[in-house]
Amino acid sequence: MAAALAMAVAGSGTAAAAAPQADAADLQEVLFVGNNWDGTADVIKSTGDFAKIGRINVIPDKNERLREIYLNPIRLAYFLGIRETVGEGHDQFVDDMYTTPDGTAVVVSRPSFADVVSIDLATGRVKWRFPVSGYRSDHMAVSPDGRRVAVSASTSNTVHVLDIETGRELGSFKTGDKPHENIFSRDGRYLWNMSIGEVNTDLDDPIWDWTKGDRRITVADTSTFQVVKVIDMRQRLDAFGHRNVSDAVRPAVFTPDESKLYFQVSFFNGFYEYDVATDKITRVKTLPENPQTSKDRRDWVNDSRHHGLAMSPDGTKLCVAGTMDDYATVVDRATLQEGPLVTASKPYWATVSGDGTACIVSESGSDQVTAIDFATGRKLVSVPVGDHPQRVRLGHVPAGWTGPSGG
């Protein structure tokens, strides 16, 4: 099974770009930046100066959704709970987003509304809506052919897979506690889900790690939606000699040759290398601590010391968002030597530019995205965006698009 899975995995940053498109002359490649706290997505150029192209409101139905929530005491309790815990006092209106293959719509997960919606890029209106099971939606992933989108339903321990054009559910499977990151294999045959457990308690000392829940990687077959493998990183970390490190796998990325997985875990300033075929952790990289960062783990947002990981298309460099340490850095994959520490304010995500030459990090603390050159590790440019940018994804919009007609 390990060998078969090793041939099936792929990096999360390549799926959207690989999806078949409409006539290329009719589309332009862009980056979507989800502004979580104000419910918008800024659309910027995917290369060059990364200038802003337009903005879309991803909560055009806000009043309708709020009316439903306030009439349901249980939903209201979760809505307010999300605001006061994972939302840091704010509603979470956009977590993740992908465009449809024809570039006419963007599909968005909205945690506080516990749903996924498709927004028409021409009109700004909702085309379809899928309420997830439970009370919060989270990270998504798009299949290599661009036709399916997976979303984590974090309070029901479920991943839903939807038809990206219609919102129809194609299947689902159960995961560990609080499913988070999703990654499709390159051939679309498997879907990997990482569950992170409970991240909103103050029981953050390693001796209380067992209270965080059932955290594991769940690999499902995307034809049958049956679970084909479960990977408990607790066992692998213990075997590696890291018994006091959390096993909550956060952002992760595969190598181009599909042999290794690099992943971040809760509370840790660095990342691990996991060999898929041998099913073992093979290396670890500990990155510098910012002396100004609080030593109290309870001050770290949602248990994520570092949150954001991307790989250059040739597989030679890793880009790391050092969230609580307020920097981003490019790491040589062969030597694990980090480059310059690029100052960034609570960087929350990392992805790759359209031409593959730069890493793009979202600075949620300063409301901007910053491009870092993979070759030199140095900052290229920063671009202002909306309130609390988090996920950044490559996508496509119609050529000449500058925003919805009614936006």
For every residue of 55-81, DSSP letters joined together read: EEES-TTHHHHHHHHHT-HHHHHHHHH
Residue 207 has pLDDT above 50, yes or no: yes
Residue 146 has pLDDT above 50, yes or no: yes
Q: What is the pTM (predicted TM-score) of this model?
A: 0.93
DSSP 194-240: EE----SSS--SGGGGGGG----EEEEETTT--EEEEE-HHHHHHHH
In a domain, 29, yes or no: yes
CATH code of the domain covering residue 199: 2.130.10.10
Lowest mean pLDDT among 46-55, 186-195, 226-235, 397-406: 397-406
In a domain, 303, yes or no: yes
In a domain, 230, yes or no: yes
Q: How many angstroms separate the CA atoms of 356 and 12, rounded? A: 14
Domain count, the chain: 1
In a domain, 398, yes or no: no
In a domain, 337, yes or no: no
Residue 228 has pLDDT above 80, yes or no: yes
Q: Residue 88: which of 117, 112, 55 has the closest Cα?
A: 112
At 156, list the tokens: 């029901």
**What is the average per-residue pLDDT within 44-67?**
98
Domain boundaries, position 98? 2-309
Q: Residue 391: its pLDDT value, please?
A: 97
User: What is the band of 163 on the pLDDT scale with cuts at 50, 70, 90?
Assistant: very high
In a domain, 44, yes or no: yes
Q: How many angstroms separate the CA atoms of 203 and 290, rounded? A: 23
C-alpha 321: how far from its chain's center?
12
In a domain, 314, yes or no: no
| Burial track 204-232 (b if 16+ CB lie within 10 A, e otherwise) | beeeebeebbebbbbbbebeebeebbebe
| Rg of the chain (C-alpha set) | 19
At 116, list the tokens: 């996924």
In a domain, 128, yes or no: yes
**What is the average per-residue pLDDT within 347-351?**
97
SS (H, E, C) 253-267: EECCCCCEEEEEECC
Residue 117, strand partner residues = 108, 129
**What is the average per-residue pLDDT within 257-261?**
93
